[in-house]
Structure 1
Amino acid sequence: MKNPRDILIKPVVTEKSMSMLEENKYTFIVDLKANKIEIRQAVEELFNVKVDKVRTMRVKGKFKRVRNRPGKTPDRKKAIVTLKQGNKIQLFEGV
């Protein structure tokens, strides 16, 4: 198994993801090559919680222009992790 810190890149802190905290759902940007089993194991190991469900989606990068030169933001993968009843991640509590 890969290092869990290499799988979970960063948490997503948006208005929509903060509203999902009430349903015990947490959103992370994860490695493009990570699968649901690796994501589940990484969250359980790093935060000492029990994961109920993992949903993933690939987000394509947008085309941007900087000084009239075309470019593209990188593709990324998001994971919405649902925890079992009674489990919470303390990282999100103060936000």
Structure 2
Amino acid sequence: MTTSCLNLGSSSSGVETITWSNGQTSSFSYNETAVNAAGQSTILRTGSITSGLFAGSAAQSAAVAPSLNALNCLAPPGITSKTAVGELIIASL
């Protein structure tokens, strides 16, 4: 996800490849909504597993990327990266 300190939110879609600990993969096709406030990003992805392990299952992920220092938005280069903590839930159909 690409964002900026001035962007309060966005929506998009995409496909993420998940590699599991057993070496198998899954493709997660999703619609994404992101909200940014005070430098913190909250990202919600809702969709389905379209191929690989768990194919045909509904899936949702949520992640929060806290701001380490929102004042960095005021001067170049700004906040150049963040690390998010989240979870992925897969429900069999």
Q: Same fold (TM over 0.5)?
A: no
Would you tell me which structure has more helix in proportion to its own residues? 1
Under a length normalisation based on structure 1, what TM-score does the superposition of the two structures give?
0.32
Would you tell me which structure has more strand in proportion to its own residues? 2
Under a length normalisation based on structure 2, what TM-score does the superposition of the two structures give?
0.32
Structure with the larger RCO, 1 or 2 (CA within 8 Å, 6+ apart): 1
